[in-house]
A and B are shown apart, each in its own frame.
Chain A
Amino acid sequence: MQKKTLGRALAGAVAAGLALSVVSLTGTAASAAPKKMIGIAFDLGGKEQPGFNQLAYIGYKTFAKTNPGWTEKDLQGNGGDTDASRAQRLKLLISAGCNPIVVVGYSYENALKTVAAANPKIKFSIVDDNIDGAANVEGLLFHAEEGSYLVGMAAALTTKTNSVGFIGGVNIPLIQAFEAGFKAGVYKVNPKIKYQSTYASNPPDFSGFNAPDKGHEAALGMYQNGADVVYSAAGSTGQGAHKAAFELGKGHWSIGVDADEALYASNAKYKSAILTSALKNVDVGVASFLSDVVGNTFKPGAHFFDASNGGVGFTTTGNYLSKATVAKLNAIKYSLASGAIVVPTDPTKVTLPQG
């Protein structure tokens, strides 16, 4: 008998606790309405994860500097994420009172489609993707081939063996655009350069973005077959290429992608081998979206970032690029921005220039 009462008391306590937590949840949601809070849903890892995550966070910080009063709430992505768990993450940010919300990575596409339709008052942006017909989503798209074009020229201007290589993560159009830009940049400088290329995996196997061991062997193979500059557009796989260049030592260069890879903690040992990185400035896109929302200039649909608005670029960390190379690349950047040079996005269409 006594046991039973104890059980009932416990059950009551648990129920009360649950009710309290529900109240507190709705309470914050209600009081958060006037609060100025930006939500960020990250791709795999948190805001310190080098690459898009960190860049998106930097974009928020740039914005917050000129717009005081705004705070942020962010949630991490997991390796085992499904569309449902991603949608749940977006709903959590909404219930915490976040508006606008920055969504990092095209993996959120399906989740965002449903959540955005169900919450028309919340404004979203999605990196590397666009959701057609959604009236409250800005798609932040990057002309990555332009950045790759720049580092392709850097590679061709740096190589002493007249041989360069490209390692792609997964053989999909998104990455093929990187290769096309790189190849076009290389051939722009010197059509006689020997060019090698490989992809770490083929869809539906996406492990190629996360296979430094394969990047290592692929880069070693290219260096042993004569290349002395290798560009990896392959996520973590590129780390293996940096390792290979570092192990082979002086005269072997590796080129990073997306963010300044020479600053990644996971590349700390190899940074003396990283010639430059092709930038895809997600921070610029995110800051632009946030300013759009605050300035009431929000416009749904695809927004493109390229050389003309600071969306792409290259890095000079370590000063391994010669002064003449940097000057030349900056000049090319202007030509890209003005539209004088149009970079292809299909590597099979890149052929040797005439003559």
Chain B
Amino acid sequence: MSNSQAGTKSIGNRLWKIITSPSRMMLTVGAVVILVSVIRQFTGIDDITSPGATGATIRFTIPILMAGLGGLWAERSGVINIGLEGMMILGTWFGAWFGFLYGPWVGILAGAIGGAIAGLLHAVLTVRVGIDQAVSGLAINLLGAGTARFLSGVFFIGKGGDVNISPQVNSTGSFTVPGLSPFLTTIAHKHILVISDIAGVFAGFVTKINWASLVMFLALPLTAWILWKTRFGLRMRFCGENPVAAESLGVNVYRTRFIALAVSGGLAGLGGAYISIVSTGNYLEGQTAGRGYIGLAAVIFGNWTPAGVLGGSVLFGLTDALRVRQSTSVHALLLIVISLAAAYGLTKLRKKDWKGFIINMAIAGLVLAYYMVNKVVPDEFVTFFPNLTTILVLAFLSQRLRPPAMAGAPYRKGEEG
């Protein structure tokens, strides 16, 4: 028992070291790029590193990233926000309706406001009234869905919509970097080892990028800057770690949490508006499809840091993009799993850790056998893959995960710690 625990911890430690050391990270990234490239060349599945796959990944990632950042703002200030899904739904509705009336950019702003209103409601219920944070969040999810349905019935019927669908909305424009985009795309289509892969991925970043994607992505550096470089960010994190101490040092915990939750809802609303205006082109009931909850998973995956949230969102976005575009891509990715397990096994061998070596080689062998026998990976597994990764992160790195200490704990003004 204690032995296995120690084992888990050491895996966690080692993974953590690989992830945190910059030089090692560069090496790891380089190795993965070469690996993916070789596998692409070998299997002939060129979609993995195509510009189109990058573009799709960006469009799937942005809504999850927005929800994730929303979750980060809320939890850093000490309030868990399960209501992200409901806030996103309001974002899709307000985005579509105001986008239909006044154009897409007004729609995006309206989506943010719609989400922020729900965020403020969450603040009133949890911070002011003192309702359990999970209960309030669930209530907001139900309320968001119900409100959107009701408003659709009132506003959309007779305007080219129905109780569950809005009229069509124009999308925000997109841009392509002239010169660079065709240059990189040409290289990508040549299928040269490594070079074409890197060019393909980068071409995706400069080809037909929606302005809304770019603008919303800026929320990430902005959040990082506010959280770590500004006085407000420091106070916000303080409220999440120890609200009693913060209050005693003159920080207005209630006000800070109100602001944080309004921003949290606003970000989720932006994600919703992105879905209805950019991804879809109209509001459709149920189109958020649980992405608010996935955003929360990205927060945990990302260890409550902005960069980590980005990592988690990309994991979900990338899996979705590869699966939906070409399910055979994922089959090729199994080769990566095999190679990584084998390589890790070999490092064990160097340290004369026979048990680790055998386990890793066995994993590699099993996956390889599976790869040889089956032509496709079951779609169900692919869909579940990011969730599984999040669970593995929780299992192996839980010693290293550091949520805000008082996130989720009720707090009343004037209370003692």
CA distance A240 to B149 in the complex (A): 22
Shortest Cβ distance from residue B283 to the other chain A in the assembled complex, whole angstroms: 10
Query: Cβ of A49 and Cβ of B280 under 8 Å apart?
Result: no
In the complex, chain A residues whose CB is within 8 Å of the CB of B55 = 220
Query: A-facing mask of B29-59, CB < 8 A → 1, else 0?
Result: 0000000000000000001001011011001
Query: B-facing mask of A235-264, CB < 8 A → 1, else 0?
Result: 010011001000000000000000000000
Shortest Cβ distance from residue B55 to the other chain A in the assembled complex, whole angstroms: 8
Query: Cβ of A220 and Cβ of B325 under 8 Å apart?
Result: yes
- A217-B59, A221-B326 as given contacts; A79 in contact with B164, CB under 8 Å: yes
Segment at the interface with A among B77-85, B235-243, B284-292, B338-346: B284-292
Query: Cβ of A205 and Cβ of B383 under 8 Å apart?
Result: yes
A44 CB-CB contact with B under 8 Å: yes
Segment at the interface with B among A92-100, A137-145, A149-157, A196-204: A196-204
CA distance A49 to B380 in the complex (A): 31
Query: Cβ of A210 and Cβ of B379 under 8 Å apart?
Result: no
Segment at the interface with A among B17-25, B123-131, B155-163, B252-260: B155-163
Segment at the interface with B among A17-25, A265-273, A311-319, A326-334: A265-273
In the complex, chain A residues whose CB is within 8 Å of the CB of B157 = 48
Query: Cβ of A217 and Cβ of B321 under 8 Å apart?
Result: yes
Q: Which of B279, B286, B380 contacts A79 (CB 8 A)?
A: B286
B165 CB-CB contact with A under 8 Å: yes
Query: Cβ of A236 and Cβ of B284 under 8 Å apart?
Result: yes
Query: B-facing mask of A153-194, CB < 8 A → 1, else 0?
Result: 000000000000000000100000000000000000000000
In the complex, chain B residues whose CB is within 8 Å of the CB of A200 = 324
Query: Cβ of A265 and Cβ of B167 under 8 Å apart?
Result: yes
In the complex, chain A residues whose CB is within 8 Å of the CB of B380 = 202
- A213-B279, A213-B280, A220-B56 as given contacts; A171 in contact with B379, CB under 8 Å: yes
Query: Cβ of B168 and Cβ of A268 under 8 Å apart?
Result: yes
B360 CB-CB contact with A under 8 Å: no
Query: Cβ of A269 and Cβ of B168 under 8 Å apart?
Result: yes
**Chain B contact residues (Cβ within 8 angstroms of A): what range?**
35 or more
CA distance A205 to B168 in the complex (A): 26
Shortest Cβ distance from residue A114 to the other chain B in the assembled complex, whole angstroms: 26
Shortest Cβ distance from residue A304 to the other chain B in the assembled complex, whole angstroms: 30
In the complex, chain A residues whose CB is within 8 Å of the CB of B321 = 217
Query: Cβ of A198 and Cβ of B327 under 8 Å apart?
Result: yes
Shortest Cβ distance from residue A340 to the other chain B in the assembled complex, whole angstroms: 34
B197 CB-CB contact with A under 8 Å: no
Shortest Cβ distance from residue A155 to the other chain B in the assembled complex, whole angstroms: 19
In the complex, chain A residues whose CB is within 8 Å of the CB of B149 = 78-79
Query: Cβ of B281 and Cβ of A243 under 8 Å apart?
Result: yes
A45 CB-CB contact with B under 8 Å: yes
Residue of B nearest to A212 (CB): B280
Query: Cβ of B160 and Cβ of A214 under 8 Å apart?
Result: no
Query: Cβ of B320 and Cβ of A214 under 8 Å apart?
Result: yes
- A202-B383, A218-B325, A236-B284 as given contacts; A266 in contact with B168, CB under 8 Å: yes
In the complex, chain B residues whose CB is within 8 Å of the CB of A222 = 325
CA distance A240 to B56 in the complex (A): 13
In the complex, chain B residues whose CB is within 8 Å of the CB of A107 = none
A207 CB-CB contact with B under 8 Å: yes
A residues 213-236 touching B (CB-CB < 8 Å): 213-214, 216-218, 220-222, 224-225, 236
Query: Cβ of A214 and Cβ of B161 under 8 Å apart?
Result: no
CA distance A212 to B164 in the complex (A): 14
Query: Cβ of B284 and Cβ of A212 under 8 Å apart?
Result: yes
Query: Cβ of B285 and Cβ of A79 under 8 Å apart?
Result: yes
Query: Cβ of A198 and Cβ of B383 under 8 Å apart?
Result: no
In the complex, chain B residues whose CB is within 8 Å of the CB of A236 = 165, 284
Shortest Cβ distance from residue B246 to the other chain A in the assembled complex, whole angstroms: 41
In the complex, chain B residues whose CB is within 8 Å of the CB of A44 = 164, 285
A336 CB-CB contact with B under 8 Å: no
The 6 closest A-B pairs by CB, nearest first: A221-B325, A213-B279, A224-B52, A265-B160, A217-B56, A212-B280
**11 pairs of residues in contact across A and B, judged by CB atoms under 8 Å:** A45-B164, A200-B324, A207-B286, A207-B290, A213-B279, A220-B55, A220-B56, A221-B56, A236-B284, A243-B280, A266-B161
User: A198-B325, A213-B59 known; 14 other A-B pairs, CB under 8 Å?
Assistant: A45-B162, A48-B162, A198-B326, A201-B383, A212-B281, A213-B280, A220-B52, A221-B325, A224-B50, A240-B280, A265-B160, A265-B168, A268-B160, A269-B168
Chain A: residues with CB nearer than 8 A to chain B? 44-46, 48-49, 76, 78-80, 171, 196, 198-202, 205, 207, 210-214, 216-218, 220-222, 224-225, 236, 239-240, 243, 265-266, 268-269
